[in-house]
Amino acid sequence: MHSHPDSRHPSVATTFGRRADSPFLSIPLPPFVQRSTNMSEFDRRDFLAMAAGSAAAFAFVPSALGSRVWTHADALRIGVVGAGRQGRAAVGELTKIDGVTVTGICDTDERRLASGLRRSSGAKGFSTVDAMLKSNDIDAVVVATPTHTHKEVALAALAAGKHIYCECPLAHTRADCSAIAQAARGAGAVAAGGFQGRSNPVYQLARGFFKSDSVRDMVTLRAQNNEKTSWVSPASDPARYNELNWKLDPAVSLGLAGELGAQQFDVFHWYTDRYPVRVIGRGSIRAWEDGRKVPDTISLMLEFDNGAVLQYAATIGNSYEGAAEYFYGTNAAIKLGWSHGWMFKESDAPTQGWEVYANRQQFHNDEGITLIAGATKLAEQGKLKDGVGLPHPSLYYALADWINAIGSGGTPACSMDEAARATVVGIAANEAVMTSKPVDIDLSTL
């Protein structure tokens, strides 16, 4: 493997945002909504014709996003390993999908297991992964355990012939990432990484604009993740405090850079078809002075081989502006906020025709075009005034994409190879934060 995506993702021109050797791309719908749409099938004129002729070209239709994901007569039976916050969230999203049943939940903590079981009627509880995998009622497994335990669970599930979805980040070491990716290649099962941007309908939509003249030459990249939370989990048994609060253990935690940043960095990897080659980072404890050693506030500069720089900042000491990614181009900027997306056009950017259909939202002195679909229909229903975003959390679409790939025999939006590369970037970023030294990123040996 190399430091750029495989042959399915051709490299871009020296400047992000434009291809020198391939057509401009159309706006894709989610894989489980429209599998036949291939971005490379459309050229720039097709893109503009679609946009000018229909408001649906720059928005997603919520009713379409509710299309049936699992179409087989027999239910897909899923076991969730890990009943912490993310595992319980996964159970909640899985219960929304018709034809899918959560038949097992596994956790070593009795209180968390009981909490998880309350969210899925009929699911059986397990205290060990081995016991769950020996059950005849499990077809696929969601791995939602602490990051440093992912490898053990993922390899066991793959060896048992189960399809797997592994939460982001993939693992806490480069070696573990490589081991999971290698096992997935020869498993004969559908293995997906939990990097949600690739299956998020808003992000798929915005990527079509990014690949067109709407944004044009990329100038700079920026992202942030702000959420006030201590990262401390209460433990009913004091002896288990350290186990439950693994995120605060620098020996196994990837910190904000890996646990949060890796998810967002991958959005830039996917949009630009590039991975950073070097990262510079700093971190400090600004909000939670409780003896912890993992910084609660960080800043990063991720450098690409063409001179572009991604600036990243994250804190768990303040929630203002939340999590978002920004792409600044010479024609426009794009802001992505996981459930919503906006485009901010420059005053001298050429008009492409579709703007007349656009819903607009004011941000202080800037006016953003809301990246939504079915804008005309939504306006008729009086919903635009309330602000329109995804009807489900981003996690729902990642799980739905994986389930659709299982049913169709297709490829998930985020393969384990892609998840491994993205995680290694997060590992390098965390190393830069913890050492305050530049770290080179080499993905060639994964």
pLDDT of residue 205: 86
Please say if the pLDDT value at position 54 is more than 90: no
Give the pTM: 0.84
User: Rounded to the nearest 5 degrees, what angle is found at the Cα of 50, between the Cα atoms of 411 and 210?
Assistant: 60
Q: What is the DSSP letter of 300?
A: E
For the chain, give every domain's residue range: 218-388+426-440
Instruction: State the average pLDDT over residues 247-275.
Output: 98
* Stretch among 6-20, 78-92, 398-412 having the lowest mean pLDDT: 6-20
* Stretch among 3-7, 21-25, 169-173, 337-341 having the lowest mean pLDDT: 21-25
| CATH 3.40.50.300 correct for 218-388+426-440 | no
Please state, for a pLDDT cut of 70, what percent of the chain lies above it.
Answer: 80
193 or 237, greater pLDDT: 193
Tens digit of pLDDT for each residue in 366-418?
Answer: 877 788 654 444 445 554 445 567 889 999 999 999 999 999 999 999 999 99
Please say if the pLDDT value at position 42 is more than 60: no
Q: What is the DSSP letter of 259?
A: I
Query: Considering only CA atoms, which of 333, 258, 321, 343 is closest in space to residue 295?
Result: 258
pLDDT of residue 52: 36
Whose structure tokens read 């894989």?
Answer: 31
Please say if the pLDDT value at position 7 is more than 70: no
Tens digit of pLDDT for each residue in 288-333?
Answer: 999 999 999 999 999 999 999 999 999 999 999 999 999 999 999 9
Tens digit of pLDDT for each residue in 68-77?
Answer: 787 787 999 9
Instruction: State the average pLDDT over residues 58-86.
Output: 75
How far apart are alpha carbons 402 and 405 in whole angstroms?
5
Beta strand 218-226 with 323-329 is antiparallel
Contacts 24+ apart (CB under 8 A), 284-290: 286/315, 286/317, 287/228, 287/315, 287/316, 287/317, 287/318, 288/230, 288/231, 288/316, 288/317, 290/230, 290/232
